[in-house]
Amino acid sequence: MLGLMQDQPLLISSLIDFAQRHHADAEIVSRRVEGDIHRSNYGLIAQRARQVANALDALGLQAGERVATLAWNGYRHLEAYFGVSGSGRVLHTLNPRLHPDQIVWIANHAEDQVLCFDMTFLPIVKAIHSRCSTIQHYVAFCDADKLPADSGIPNLQSYETLVRAQPAHYKWPALDENAASSMCYTSGTTGHPKGVVYSHRSTVLHAFACAMPDVLNVSARDSVLPVVPMFHVNAWGLPYACAMTGAKMVFPGPAMDGKSIYELIEAEQVSFAAGVPTVWQMLLSHMGQGALRFSSLKRTVIGGSACPPAMLAAFNDVYGVEVLHAWGMTEMSPLGTVCTLKNKHLALDESEKMQVRVKQGRGMFGVDMKIVDEDGAELPWDGKAFGDLLVRGPWVLSAYFKNEGGTPLVDGWFVTGDVATIDPDGYLQITDRTKDVIKSGGEWISSIDVENIGMAHPAVAMAACIGMKHPKWDERPVLVAVKKPGAEVSRDELLAFFEGKTAKWQIPDDVIFVDAIPLGGTGKMQKTKLRDMLANYQLPAH
Amino acid sequence: MLGLMQDQPLLISSLIDFAQRHHADAEIVSRRVEGDIHRSNYGLIAQRARQVANALDALGLQAGERVATLAWNGYRHLEAYFGVSGSGRVLHTLNPRLHPDQIVWIANHAEDQVLCFDMTFLPIVKAIHSRCSTIQHYVAFCDADKLPADSGIPNLQSYETLVRAQPAHYKWPALDENAASSMCYTSGTTGHPKGVVYSHRSTVLHAFACAMPDVLNVSARDSVLPVVPMFHVNAWGLPYACAMTGAKMVFPGPAMDGKSIYELIEAEQVSFAAGVPTVWQMLLSHMGQGALRFSSLKRTVIGGSACPPAMLAAFNDVYGVEVLHAWGMTEMSPLGTVCTLKNKHLALDESEKMQVRVKQGRGMFGVDMKIVDEDGAELPWDGKAFGDLLVRGPWVLSAYFKNEGGTPLVDGWFVTGDVATIDPDGYLQITDRTKDVIKSGGEWISSIDVENIGMAHPAVAMAACIGMKHPKWDERPVLVAVKKPGAEVSRDELLAFFEGKTAKWQIPDDVIFVDAIPLGGTGKMQKTKLRDMLANYQLPAH
């Protein structure tokens, strides 16, 4: 016996339709590549998204064909989000921070037909277009008068010229909700980059979850600043969740320095901002220098990599901003857990609450998770046992595009590559990446725990902990550290700083000072490169 | 090209699985028919829901067969919600406030196989069982020692005996998400009651929407009191939304008087309560008599019928409780609109905000709506034009059970039977039921507007406005009023009270004082009965 409710597919076009109908005048504010502040709203975004759809029809693009973007967070990018997916094409966000060779490989693998890009990235496009074999049309996010005369890029046209020529009326197709809507490549640790292909269904369900009070808590009263890029994992789903709720959106464009972000937060009365720790570090540093305060910011979600406890404390204690510590993956659309308190925690004092907030948070409905040992047996949720983290759910991937890398599932569960504990209340704490855990004398040492202690030292700007081969213990931890400009600390002083903060056997055997730690395209520390750099390093004899 | 995300159906069993795994110790507190307070939690509810499922297997119930309930809000009812639907049967909540003949008709029409009931309703079950031709098993929500010895009810057994005999392990079936999960009959205004059949998909999507910050804003920090009954429209979806978020639940059982509700709110530190205006009127009356205050209640959702502005003001101004004015229907699972502010309203002063709050609110993502004129042409959202309200969406019905009453859709839109305005910001205001609108001299008069003015008079406890045939104007409004105990007001005084509060031609032609206005099974005024009562009434000559 079936239910008798209406059979309506979950579609991305419904999100922008809703925003247009119910929140037409809610603002979309962008700092542009041009440097100025541009003001739009959902009514205009919806109209231009339809013009984008008509333009893709005019270019002859078929359903399911890929339209790539190489762009900052901004209104044109948002129009492409809805116009491309809404009309049945697949939005493929390319990460401009990757090496051009990687971008070429990815664009060819995805068989992109169109590439839309911000003028910032013209040099990249110039460098790669001759090797992108499937791209037929290059569209620059600018007015016609900003187009370079002699770029050498074939079929280069201005987005504004292309879009404005189109009628504003377009009937969104009634797609299968399981149709592909968008894709994003993840670099992974071995082999080629792998494409994650989202569907309309997974995107809309993820948006529902994203907006919930225990997740990102997005409402029509919010002014939302996604500093986290739209070119990577759809800015954590915020463009969809904001359209679903009619929240005002504020886009930083290319200006991610502390001063620009602070000014934008104040000018647009941002209530909620989303970003990675490195960006917030720049913001906090700017705030501290000027003894500045926020007049509107209420909460911020921090993910991408673990948030240092010192940063949590600064936001919470100094600025009165609630930090939502979060964990997710490209393969998970990306939200998996967000750290919000439960009813039982409300009576705790601030320091006890902070003990909860340092964890990556609780799973939301729609994400099942478990931790398993090396034999695949499930481990208890006691906050102590740690093992490989497995997840499943309607916005978790089942396979990579073109089956790259084989099946990523074990018995229906996606193997995240993270190692974690889960406490009795369901709070997850990532202790490490599976490949970064240091196995010393049969015990595991979390490289992240060691890094957090190292980075708490006032003279340390950044620190990475990696395992070095050891004849007796298999591996021993070594801390690679970057000093703050003008700050000084010696190897022995830094090692002494660990005393009393962790078990003796978990203290690194050595400290290596470097000028910089290599960062990847999404701002994460590249420990593989670090290991290559230290190929000839010898552990000190004890 | 399809997306490559996991194919996981949206199932009610996943909700209770999630609550058990992530919020096992979140409390479920019930005031029982037995009179005491009972404490359970999601861990135990989940375990006993599985026992319910095993019990239904043992009784030989097939997938899709109906299990009826006749019960108050309480933990056993909640266990049935998840055990019945989770195992693939259809939960059919019967409304004990209906006439026994209607209950018999509905149970037979639904072909219920099992009836679970609270002992309060033993007299009803005694009166109807011989006429319920399909019910094979009667299960009383009590311990074996509370069962009556000589009820005459065949196959009567104790729920506790039945359930406790079952193993706590049960593997929920992997159902089609479009399978029927539950049903509820709506009395309608003409013809037989009509069955609305919800699906797992519609229920889970509705729960997502229900939990959102702009809707009921349900989180794991909440203590939720649904006074709105689980026997009607699934207590506005709260049992599902609370399981989805791990919110504490507090159930009032049969004690809906002001004192009992107040004591429960304080004892269980309820943060959010849901109910109809008549129940809140009893609560406010109790509060006022004792000069009481709430220590934990932050917000309340009021629906079922329009909330009188005076009640909104009392909650907001006197008690500091945010009122979420809401509108929905049995046919809509039931949520359609909830009144929460937008970003643009935050700077308004309290009286301006109140102008927004008196409306029934904004549509949420998932509910499309429009208003149309008598020819079906769409009317503007200008806050003035009013017309028939039509809705559509994945939790709006497509047909009634067994096609009772024919198709309720016009061009894919469900005709709500309400008349409404929608303002430029998308805020809906129900001006009347289509059948209650008073057509006077070619203009429409909203019976609800007239009632709201009448009920604002300090001596009036309840008021209904109905249209009476008039030789010149077609219809003219008449106010039927019930005085508060001990209060006095004359016909002319009450009519004078309307002066200056509405247009002259909208002031009733007469006032008729009665001892009571007939209420239906869901607490709404029954104007059909009122019209019957006044069949011989004559309008005064002017």
Confirm whether A239 is domain-assigned: no
On whether ipTM exceeds 0.95, the answer is: no
A394 and A330 share one domain: yes
Which tens digit of pLDDT belongs to each residue from B214-237? 999 999 999 999 999 999 899 999
Distances (CA, A) of A41 to A46, A76, A394, B367: 9, 12, 31, 21
Question: Would you call A301 helix, strand, or coil by DSSP?
Answer: strand
d(CA B321, CA B315): 5
What residues of B are labeled active site?
186, 331, 439, 444
What's the domain range around A90? 12-202
Confirm whether B280 is domain-assigned: yes
Confirm whether B446 is domain-assigned: yes
CATH of the domain at B463: 3.30.300.30
- Helix B200-211 / helix A200-211 crossing angle, nearest 10 deg: 40
B153-161 long-range contacts, Cβ below 8 Å, gap at least 24? B153/B125, B153/B126, B153/B129, B154/B129, B159/B76, B159/B116
Q: Cis link prior to B9 (omega < 30° from 0)?
A: no
| Tokens at A426, concatenated | 């369901």
CA distance A138 to chain B (A): 23
Stretch A481-487: mean pLDDT: 92
Q: How high is the pLDDT of residue A432? A: 80
Instruction: Tell me which of B387, B417, B434 is where a domain ends.
Output: B434
Q: How high is the pLDDT of residue A307? A: 82
Q: How high is the pLDDT of residue B521? A: 67
B47 and B142 share one domain: yes
> For B59-121, where are the alpha helices, taking DSSP H only?
75-86, 100-110
- Helix B12-22 / helix B42-58 crossing angle, nearest 10 deg: 140
Q: Is residue B73 over pLDDT 60?
A: yes
Q: Is residue A520 over pLDDT 80?
A: no
Which tens digit of pLDDT belongs to each residue from B249-259? 999 999 999 99
Which tens digit of pLDDT belongs to each residue from B467-497? 998 888 889 999 999 999 999 999 999 999 9
Q: Are strands A335-338 and A361-363 parallel, antiparallel or unpaired?
A: antiparallel
Which tens digit of pLDDT belongs to each residue from B393-445? 999 999 999 998 888 999 999 999 899 999 999 999 988 877 888 888 877 78
Q: How high is the pLDDT of residue A249? A: 98
Which tens digit of pLDDT belongs to each residue from A242-253? 999 999 999 999
Confirm whether A240 is domain-assigned: no
Check CB contact under 8 Å for B401 and A181.
no
Which tens digit of pLDDT belongs to each residue from B405-419? 888 999 999 999 899
Stretch A439-467: mean pLDDT: 88
d(CA B437, CA A129): 66
Check CB contact under 8 Å for A365 and B14.
yes
A304 and A442 share one domain: no
A58 and A195 share one domain: yes
> For A436-480, where are the alpha helices, taking DSSP H only?
447-455
Confirm whether B211 is domain-assigned: no
Overall number of domains in chain B = 3
A383 and A471 share one domain: no
Stretch B345-358: mean pLDDT: 91
Instruction: Tell me which of B419, B434, B449 is where a domain ends.
Output: B434
B100 and B33 share one domain: yes
Check CB contact under 8 Å for B397 and A14.
no
Q: Is residue A322 over pLDDT 90?
A: yes
Q: Which residue on chain A is closest to B218 by alpha carbon?
A: A213
Check CB contact under 8 Å for B398 and A5.
yes
B175 and B137 share one domain: yes
B90 and B164 share one domain: yes
Which tens digit of pLDDT belongs to each residue from A240-284? 999 999 999 999 999 999 999 999 999 999 999 999 888 898 999
What band does A542 get if pLDDT is binned at 50, 70 and 90? Answer: low
CA distance A212 to chain B (A): 5
Instruction: Tell me which of A411, A434, A457 is where a domain ends.
Output: A434
Chain B residues near residue A401 by CB distance under 8 angstroms:
4
Q: How high is the pLDDT of residue A433? A: 78
What band does A436 get if pLDDT is binned at 50, 70 and 90? Answer: confident
Which tens digit of pLDDT belongs to each residue from B266-317? 999 999 999 988 889 899 999 988 889 999 999 999 987 778 888 888 999 9
Stretch A37-58: mean pLDDT: 98
Confirm whether A229 is domain-assigned: no
* Residue A161 one-letter amino acid: T
Q: Per mean pLDDT, which range of A220-224, B226-230, B373-377 is the poorest?
A: B373-377
Q: How high is the pLDDT of residue A361? A: 95
A18/B contact by beta carbon, under 8 A: yes
Q: How high is the pLDDT of residue B446? A: 84
Q: How high is the pLDDT of residue A463? A: 92
Stretch A207-213: mean pLDDT: 98
B321 and B430 share one domain: yes
Residue A201: burial class (beta carbons within 10 Å; 0-12, 13-18, 19+) = buried
Q: How high is the pLDDT of residue B188? A: 60
CB within 8 Å of B490: residues ≥ 6 apart:
none
Which tens digit of pLDDT belongs to each residue from A23-40? 999 999 999 998 899 999
CA distance B526 to chain A (A): 28
Which tens digit of pLDDT belongs to each residue from A178-192? 999 999 998 765 678
Q: Is residue A6 over pLDDT 90?
A: yes
Stretch A474-493: mean pLDDT: 93
Q: Which residue on chain B is closest to A414 by alpha carbon?
A: B6
What band does B542 get if pLDDT is binned at 50, 70 and 90? Answer: low
Confirm whether A70 is domain-assigned: yes
Which tens digit of pLDDT belongs to each residue from B168-218? 999 999 999 999 999 999 876 567 899 999 999 999 999 999 999 999 999
Stretch A342-371: mean pLDDT: 93
A196/B contact by beta carbon, under 8 A: yes
Cβ distance B149 to B120 under 8 Å? no
Out of B14, B199, B345, closest to residue A2 by CB: B199
B41 and B186 share one domain: yes
- The pTM for the full model equals 0.90
Check CB contact under 8 Å for A219 and B219.
no
B273 and B310 share one domain: yes
* Residue B253 one-letter amino acid: G
Confirm whether A394 is domain-assigned: yes
Q: How high is the pLDDT of residue B432? A: 80
DSSP code string of B378-411? BPP-SSS--EEEEEESTTSBSS-GGGTTS--EET
Check CB contact under 8 Å for A208 and B212.
yes
B111 and B68 share one domain: yes
Which tens digit of pLDDT belongs to each residue from B63-72? 999 999 999 9
What is the helix, strand, coil percentage profile of chain B, to 5?
30, 25, 40
Mean pLDDT of chain A: 93
Stretch A298-327: mean pLDDT: 89
What band does B522 get if pLDDT is binned at 50, 70 and 90? Answer: low
Find, among B50, B16, B48, B6, the residue nearest to B245 by Cα. B16
Out of A22, A202, A399, closest to residue B363 by CB: A22
CATH of the domain at A427: 3.40.50.12780
CA distance B1 to chain A (A): 5
Residue A442: burial class (beta carbons within 10 Å; 0-12, 13-18, 19+) = exposed
Q: How high is the pLDDT of residue B495? A: 95
Q: Is residue A515 over pLDDT 60?
A: yes
